[in-house]
């Protein structure tokens, strides 16, 4: 079985740093950060853990910026979402899970073009 390495995009890294800083004083951020750590461990044990997103729904931003051809979504507490893609590394002995975004529900809806009713 191939090893799974998890890498953050610059945007996801920024949110991760924010959650780390705020988790000491905010229960909400601490809850999201704990869930994020658990989900990363689940991805390491099963790279296809998340819900697959239909190819036609993958935001153009991800396709052009990162060359994304597959996308997975994982729900986090308080309606936050983690979005990641899978890729083979150059060595072919590991799978790279590239976390593209960790976003709240409002930004998630905007990114995927969902509207309020």
pLDDT tens digits along 31-76: 999 999 999 999 999 999 999 999 999 999 999 999 999 999 999 9
CA distance 59 to 71: 10
CATH number assigned to the domain with residue range 3-111, chosen from the 4 options 2.130.10.10, 3.40.50.920, 3.30.2310.20, 2.40.50.140: 3.30.2310.20
CA distance 88 to 20: 29
Give tens-digit pLDDT for 63-117: 999 999 999 999 999 999 999 999 876 767 778 889 999 999 899 988 888 876 6
The helices-and-strands tally (H runs, E runs) of the chain is: 4, 5
- Confidence (pLDDT) at 70: 95
Strand-pairing partners, residue 51, are 73
- Confidence (pLDDT) at 117: 61
């Amino acid at each position: 079985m191939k090893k799974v390495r998890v890498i953050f995009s610059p945007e996801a890294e920024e949110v991760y740093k924010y959650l780390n800083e705020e988790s000491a004083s905010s229960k909400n951020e601490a809850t999201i950060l704990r869930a994020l750590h658990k989900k990363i461990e689940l991805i390491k044990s099963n790279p296809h853990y998340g819900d697959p997103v239909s190819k036609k729904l993958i935001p153009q931003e991800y396709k052009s910026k990162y060359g994304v051809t597959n996308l997975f979504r994982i729900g986090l507490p308080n309606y936050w979402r983690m979005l990641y893609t899978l890729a083979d590394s150059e060595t072919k002995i590991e799978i790279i899970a590239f976390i593209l975004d960790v976003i709240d529900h409002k930004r998630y809806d905007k990114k995927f073009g969902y509207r309020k009713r």
